[in-house]
Amino acid sequence: MRPTMFIVLVFLFSLSFSQADTSLPRATVCIVGSGIGGSSVAHFLRLFSTSLDDAVFDIRMFERNVVVGGRMATVDLSGEVFEAGASILHPKNLYALNYTNLLNLTIKEPSSSASSSPSLGIWDGKKFVFKTLGFKSNLPFVQKLVSYANSVLMFLRYGFSLLKMERFVQTAVGSFLKYYESHELRPIFESVEEMLKWAGLYNLTTANLGQELTDAGLSPLLAQELVTVITRINYGQSLAISGLAGAVSLAGAEGGLWSIKGGNWQMASGLINHSNVALHLHEEIESISSMGKYYELNSTKGNSYKCEVAVVATPLDEVKIRFTPLISIPKRRLQHTHATFVRGLLNPEYFGLDAVSDIPELVGTIEVPDLPFSSISVLKRHDEKDMTYKIFSRKPMDDALLDSIFSFRNETIRIDWGAYPHYNAPEVFAPFILDAQHLYYVNAFENAASTMETSAVSAENIARLIMSRYFGRPPFSSSNLGSYSGTGALRVDL
């Protein structure tokens, strides 16, 4: 054989060997749940594979309901749409902001803040122990005067503890922002504990909020009134929740909050459409079985699916998925929040007042036994005698109770949400990896804090786990993630 021919053959053999050695295994990734967690996993898997051949894996997504979005949902009341589930986003929720830009969605402020901050009243079941001013005006300087006056009222009641509360929240938020650091600085986490310890947040899950606030120097009055009102609204729970969940809840009461015009569910829908997902609506997965090199998923429709990677992106607390072999996760119960929407008018006599105008736009409550609701807020003021309200309660509100609270009701809608975990410090966490192979659990992070953004952060880590553990790919550099081919740009090195 001539030397030149030998060299060519050696080169071709080496090239084919190199290609075979670096090629990725073909796989199907199955995701159970189409909420913000599941849709974010799909999105980040596609994002992290932009430097690869997208055809290297397929994504199937299963949703037991007829619509996507999970706990992000809307309700139609008298022809108008309102958020029924996860409703607000923080100005530092950077993944949600990026989703909004990527999908060309429109940001809106909560309706109650369109002209000025809503008036607040803290109700103990018999009287308002504290109220802010509720004067409305279209003149900006008048709004500023009212806001200033309310700040003075808050300071007179709670003093410098307000500043200590703000420092407590900002410290936690600052630690959470570490999850947006570039991949060169941020490892892939195989457990929730590891993820929390890296950011300096783990200790906040080992003690309850009441103890954390005492350690931070907050006055008992502030904790028992204003902080309790916030935790009852955002998590339906008391100061017994963990310190981290409490800090996240308090962050949800800060300024600059926003949502998506038309419904936050559009983030999940847009990410699914953007990620080339085979979506199976109204198909509930009833069993997931490990078959060695793949998983078999069986649905209530009698269908069977083969998947090399399986991701559970729905809380396992109240779904009836059978796992073979059995998985082991800590026992946990969900905190149910009953959201009741009413178009009508509140009864001032129920609150011991003379006129509807005297009732604050946001009525929050403290921890008093048998208090029938956590909060009542005005969603929209149609006129002085016609408003839409949203009520949060721990138990269903029957007609007799509603008739005592309202002068009249034109329309009432009730929704029972298994909304978030019932927090109980010290928290114990389910694993991200449910077996020794490729069965993953996004909602393990919910025992730290449950929000749309924490679900997205957990999902991003799950996607990195899959790329690293199954496809054998190291963390991608942020320079590879500056943009995503499609309808927009997405920066993750924030």
pLDDT of residue 183: 86
Distance CA 365, CA 392 (A): 10
Per-residue pLDDT tens over the stretch 173-198:
999 999 999 988 899 999 999 999 99
- pLDDT class of 11 with cuts at 50, 70, 90: very low
CATH of 111-257+335-421, one of 1.10.1660, 3.90.660, 2.20.100, 3.30.70: 3.90.660
Mean pLDDT of all residues in 270-275: 97
Q: Is the Cβ–Cβ distance between 414 and 390 less than 8 Å?
A: no
Least confident of 54-63, 232-241, 284-293: 54-63
- Per-residue pLDDT tens for 122-142? 999 999 999 999 877 677 777
pLDDT of res. 13: 37
As a whole number, mean pLDDT of residues 147-161 equals 95
Q: Nearest to residue 246, comparing CAs of 208, 214, 216?
A: 208
The yes-or-no verdict on residue 478 having pLDDT over 60 is: no
What is the per-residue pLDDT for 117? 75
Residue 351: pLDDT band with limits 50, 70, 90: very high
With vertex at residue 353, the alpha carbon angle to CA 348 and CA 357, rounded to the nearest 5 degrees, is 65
Minimum mean pLDDT range among 59-73, 412-426, 438-452, 472-486: 472-486
Residue 476 scores a pLDDT above 60: no
| Mean pLDDT, rounded, for 480-486 | 35
- Sole residue written with tokens 């200790």: 203
Could you write out the three-class secondary structure of the chain? Answer: CCHHHHHHHHHHHHHHHHHHHHCCCCEEEEEECCCHHHHHHHHHHHHHCCCCCHHHEEEEEEECCCCCCCCCCEEEECCEEEECCCCCECCCCHHHHHHHHHCCCCEECCHHHCCCCCCEEEECCCCEEEECCCCCCCCHHHHHHHHHHHHHHHHHHHCCHHHHHHHHHHHHHHHHHHHHCCCCCCCCCCCHHHHHHHHCCHHHHCCEHHHHHHHCCCCHHHHHHHHHHHHHHHHCCCCCCEHHHHHHHHHCCCCCCEEECCCCHHHHHHHHHHCCEEEEECCCEEEEEECCCCEEEEECCCCEEEECEEEECCCCCCCCCEEECCCCCCCCCEEEEEEEEEEEEECHHHHCCCCHHHCCCEEEECCCCCCCCCEEEEEEEEECCEEEEEEEECCCCCHHHHHHHEEEEEEEEEEEEEEEECCCCCCCCCCCECCCCCEEEHHHHHHCCCCHHHHHHHHHHHHHHHHHHCCCCCCCCHHHHCCECCCECCCCCC
pLDDT for 53 equals: 55
Residue 146: is its pLDDT beyond 80? yes
pLDDT for the residue 294: 97
Lowest mean per-residue pLDDT among 42-51, 146-155, 300-309: 42-51
CB of 396 closer than 8 Å to CB of 416: yes
pLDDT at 108 (0 to 100): 87
Task: Identify the pLDDT of residue 21.
Answer: 40
Lowest mean pLDDT among 215-229, 395-409, 470-484: 470-484
Least confidently predicted of 101-110, 220-229, 374-383, 483-492: 483-492
pLDDT at 360 over 60: yes
pLDDT reported for residue 141? 78
pLDDT for residue 25: 63
Q: What is the mean pLDDT of the chain?
A: 89
